[in-house]
Amino acid sequence: MIKIDRRASAIRRSLCAGDDDCQMIKDTDIVSEPSLTPQDDPAGTTASTLAAIGLRIRDVRQARNMTLQALADACGLSASMLSLVERGRASPSIGSLIVIASALGVQMSDFIVDQAVDDEKLVVTSSEQRVIETAAHVIRRLIKEDRARGISIAINEYAPHTGATEKPITHDGFEYGFVLEGKLTVEVDGLLHVVEGGDLISYSSRRPHRIWNHGKEQVRTLWINLQRD
């Protein structure tokens, strides 16, 4: 079961100054469509930054196996507006980023990175790799996240009798999973596949899928996610 961070609601309420001045935070208040034109932003810097922030939000949300609707409920935003943010089609304000970050259990700064430095870096040391623990006690070490090319590479560790999600999920992209050690059960389209050490499984992320460790030993995998099918 996904545990939603209720601090987001408190933070959302705290953004109001007082009874007279308080305005309920709405989608239109904290998220607006980008207004820069190519002439204003010839290098596409703003669009690239928005895309990077959106992908980071989606990566963290998916790592926690939260649906858009679950995050929307925690943030007080609509799922459709969050979808625009994740796709880089809407510009989130500082206030909205704070609320989203709190709901996901991370810092707002985790969404804001130097895109060029991050993507073009030749060596990513272990200390620079972000580690996320999901509510289901699955540890995800993000080895490399190349947003320009739409690819992320991670090491996932599943404790015994734990899984990524209780119910099958779908999202955009394509996945390649290589089992380093242990035995992983992957459900795709309702069919169960047992993937052992040295085996690889691949599938479109649009197909309903669920990942679980039913065994008594830890499972470690190398997982590659492509943002596009």
- Across the range 7-13, mean pLDDT stands at 47
- Across the range 112-117, mean pLDDT stands at 55
Fold entry, domain 121-226: Jelly Rolls (2.60.120)
* Mean pLDDT estimate for the chain: 77
* Segment 147-203, tens digit of pLDDT: 778 888 999 999 999 887 778 887 778 999 999 999 999 999 999 999 999 999 999
Is the pLDDT reported for residue 124 higher than 70? yes
DSSP 209: E
Q: According to the model, what pLDDT value does residue 134 have?
A: 66
- At residue 134, φ and ψ (nearest 5 deg) are -80, 170
**Residue with tokens 């050690």, as numbered in its chain:** 181
Who wins on pLDDT, 167 or 223? 223
d(CA 222, CA 224) in angstroms, rounded, equals 7
Is the pLDDT reported for residue 108 higher than 50? yes
Fold entry, domain 7-113: 434 Repressor (Amino-terminal Domain) (1.10.260)
Q: According to the model, what pLDDT value does residue 50 have?
A: 80
Q: According to the model, what pLDDT value does residue 214 have?
A: 93
Give the strand pairing for 200-204 and 130-133.
unpaired
Query: Do 184 and 209 form a contact (C-beta atoms < 8 A)?
Result: no
* Segment 61-81, tens digit of pLDDT: 888 878 899 999 988 889 998
User: Where exactly are the structural domains of the chain?
Assistant: 7-113, 121-226
Most confident range (mean pLDDT) of 50-54, 117-121, 203-207 is 203-207
Is the pLDDT reported for residue 21 higher than 50? no
What is the phi-psi region of residue 38: left when phi exceeds 0, alpha when psi lies from -120 to 50, beta otherwise?
A: alpha
pTM of the model: 0.60
In 3D space, the residue among 212, 141, 218 whose CA is nearest the CA of residue 182 turns out to be 218
Predicted confidence band at 94 (pLDDT cuts at 50, 70, 90)?
confident
Work out the angle at residue 152's Cα, subtended by the Cα atoms of residues 148 and 158, and round it to the nearest 5 degrees: 165
Is the pLDDT reported for residue 37 higher than 50? no
Q: According to the model, what pLDDT value does residue 26 have?
A: 42
Beta bridge partners of 216: none
